Chain A
Amino acid sequence: MSGGGALAIAGAVRSGERSARDVVEEHLRVIEAAEGDIHAFNLVLADEARAAADEVDRRVAAGEDPGPLAGVPVALKDNLCTRGIPTTCSSRILEGWRPPYDATVVERLRAAGAVAIGKTNLDEFAMGSSTENSAFGPTRNPRDPSRVPGGSSGGSAAAVAAGFAPLALGSDTGGSIRQPAALCGVVGVKPTYGGVSRYGLIAFASSLDQIGPFAATVAEAAVLLEVIGGHDARDSTSIPQPAPAVSAVLDEGVDGLRVGVVRELMDGIDGDVAAHVSRAADALSAAGAKVEEVSVPACVYGLTAYYLIAPAECSSNLARYDGVRYGMRVDADDITAMYGATRAAGFGPEVKRRIMLGTYALSAGYYDAYYGQAQRVRTLLIRDFENAYGDFDALISPTAPTTAFAFGAKTANPMAMYMSDVCTIPSNLAGHPAMSVPFGTGDDGLPVGVQVMADALAEPTMFRVAAALEEAAA
């Protein structure tokens, strides 16, 4: 009856040794027992999951190929569109809305035999680093319920950490997969920009957003990435080539790989977290990698550039929530008054703050000084990464500056909260892949994540380094 991870489940279901329905029932029981304490989900899809599992079992019985993730429960961040099923972005403004279509990743999961088991909580519209910005209340960290799970994909990270689902999907605009993965002690991957279709992902900052996997292990995350990745004609920013094969390279080791420890991302980091990264570097060295410190100077400007670019894009993307086409409306005498009242009632404080910041940064007289300059800094950062990848195959750093923090610790000071993303933001600005791998626990008993970064489309190298770190941490 034991879960045994996504790959064991898929193997057992594919061989007929275990029914997908049995797998779903087991996970629903785990959810039933602990969800009240964790609040990973906005919605548990119990009936839908049972029906999907029965369909997988029918395919197995009929001798059809049920797919590589047959019967594996997957938790979906609630900013991924699911046809006919509420998709809220943890915002009041989408109250009552049921999308008329599925996100591409949702279609691909279904085709692979995976079973969507619930929609997970997030910071409203994926803006935040703790899930405290959810309109439906925060998610608690399964490793210590007095701590945040990170964010914005905190519900997805918590769902995997709590055993509610072996796999989950999140979205990562400035670290929203990797930072909660680190804080909850699971693996989280942000693929190369354009590597996974964004069709059906509700947009936050379109030049930065990417969908990616959560899993307990690197090997499970690799299979999930292969299932969701690859070209999709419905996303004009989708890279026109197949997803890179990552499962096949996991046992290749790191012998001879050149790995850089990014000096700028070790500054201002909690000492205990930094010590773990140093031990990770030593472990890679012991496994045969050539490990050295490297400077990526423009990383120090990443946070500033991000907090101009992301709000600017968000202010534009969220203009569509105007009470006309979907979600809630606050009635008023004329349309301008309706817009203002609807948006005031529908958005929470952090979303309003970022819309205001982005609108200001794009407004007449300030555009070039703020948004334009941030875009030029983005170019500088990409150039510095190009230099680094001339000498190194992969880079490592902490994923987050600290382990999981207490509720309320950073809510009064937006800049303090934004600092949680200082190590993860550079990869989003560059469009590069990056992932967080659990690497032991800190003095406080909480998980520490090490971030592995690589050049665009170098996911195979990144996964080799991640697999080596996972083995060393075991």
Chain B
Amino acid sequence: MPDSLSADDVRHVARLARLDVTDEEVELFAGQLAAVLDHASDIEALDTHEVPPTAHPLPLVNVLREDEVTPGVERDEVLAMAPAAEEGRFRVPRILGEAP
């Protein structure tokens, strides 16, 4: 596991997270994330190759219900809370960019 994260590592993770970061934040997060990940070294050493992972504490699987139509939330009420809506839909900025 890495002792520290490079500025490029932090910028890469920020891009994955769709989070614009400033140069100051890159520097801050590089140190702070490394400090937290450093603590992960104590579980890195544990032999767990025969231990199954727990994703969830409950033994519930395949929770089903009858396929019946029930009232949901009102579309217009939901759209009224959106930053931009038009013709019954969420409105977003341009999705396809210019050719690079």
Binding site for B on A (CB under 8 A): 96-98, 100-101, 193-194, 207, 233, 236-237, 239, 300-301, 303-305, 307-308, 315, 319, 322-329, 331-341, 343-344, 347, 352-353, 355-357, 359-360, 363, 369-370, 372-380, 382, 414-415, 418, 429-431, 456
Chain A neighbourhood of B13, CB < 8 A? 356, 359-360, 363
Binding site for A on B (CB under 8 A): 1, 5, 9-10, 13-14, 16-21, 25, 29, 32-33, 35-37, 39-40, 42-44, 46, 48, 51-58, 60, 63, 65, 73-74, 77-78, 81-84, 90, 92-95, 97
Chain A neighbourhood of B10, CB < 8 A? 356
Most buried by B among A100, A360, A376: A360
- A326 close to B43 (CB less than 8 A): no
Chain A neighbourhood of B82, CB < 8 A? 324-326
Chain A neighbourhood of B51, CB < 8 A? 376, 379-380
Q: Point out the residue from A335, A359, A375, A430 that lies within 8 Å of B95, measured CB to CB.
A: A335
- A207 close to B57 (CB less than 8 A): yes
Chain B neighbourhood of A301, CB < 8 A? 42-43, 46
Q: Once the chains are docked, how many angstroms separate the CA of A326 from the CA of B43? A: 39
Q: Point out the residue from A338, A356, A363 that lies within 8 Å of B29, measured CB to CB.
A: A356
Most buried by B among A193, A239, A344: A344
Q: Once the chains are docked, how many angstroms separate the CA of A224 from the CA of B65? A: 28
Quick one: closest B residue to A332, CB to CB?
A: B93
Main secondary structure of the interface of B (DSSP, over half): loop
- A101 close to B25 (CB less than 8 A): no
- Shortest Cβ gap from B30 to chain A (Å): 10
Quick one: closest B residue to A307, CB to CB?
A: B36
What 8 new A-B contacts, CB under 8 Å, besides A237-B63, A355-B19, A378-B54? A237-B58, A335-B95, A352-B25, A356-B14, A374-B43, A375-B54, A376-B53, A378-B53
Q: Once the chains are docked, how many angstroms separate the CA of A322 from the CA of B60? A: 31
- Shortest Cβ gap from A430 to chain B (Å): 6
- B43 close to A357 (CB less than 8 A): no
Most buried by A among B42, B56, B60: B56
Chain A neighbourhood of B37, CB < 8 A? 357, 360, 370
Q: Point out the residue from A328, A332, A356, A382 that lies within 8 Å of B57, measured CB to CB.
A: A382
Q: Once the chains are docked, how many angstroms separate the CA of A322 from the CA of B82? A: 11
Chain A neighbourhood of B36, CB < 8 A? 307, 357, 414-415, 418
Q: A343-B20, A352-B19, A360-B13 are in contact. Are A207 and B83 (CB under 8 A)?
A: no
Chain B neighbourhood of A340, CB < 8 A? 18-20
- Shortest Cβ gap from B33 to chain A (Å): 6
Q: Point out the residue from B18, B25, B55, B90 that lies within 8 Å of A336, measured CB to CB.
A: B18
